[in-house]
Amino acid sequence: KETPFGTANIGDAVTNINTFAREWRCNWSQDDGKQSLTECQKVLDDIIAPALKEVHGLHSVQRVVCGECQQFKVIVKLSLDAFGDWAAMNFHPEEQVVESLQNIAGVSKIECQTYTIMPVTGPGK
């Protein structure tokens, strides 16, 4: 599949962006040997990864786990022109992701957020 690429400015001619990200995050618990963290990973493996494989304009899917603040995050990064199409699909599979996380004992503070993300150095700059 072909990955589109483009840039846009936000606010001024200096602050360019070339990708948007959608983040799904929650807090997990130390209880039961961190079982809630294990279940969060299953949501990523069984729901998120398969559903996003064919999303047009997908740049990457990243997982962040913070042991100190007990957060589990999935960051889905897409090109500017593809992000609107995915947003029109309600960020599929977001509804299923949120519902699955809500059903995990020990998971709390489930949130979804959209933001711009762009490398400062390295590939993609």
**H/E stretch holding 27:** strand 19-27
Angle between helices 31-43 and 94-102 (to 10 degrees): 160
Domain contains 66: yes
Domain contains 11: no
Domain contains 92: yes
Please state, in angstroms and rounded to a whole number, the distance separating the CA atoms of residues 11 and 30: 42
Per residue in 53-92, pLDDT (tens digit) is: 989 999 999 999 999 999 999 999 999 889 999 999 999 9
pTM attached to this predicted model: 0.87
Q: For residue 4, is pLDDT > 60?
A: no
Number of separate domains in the chain: 1
Domain contains 78: yes
Domain contains 48: yes
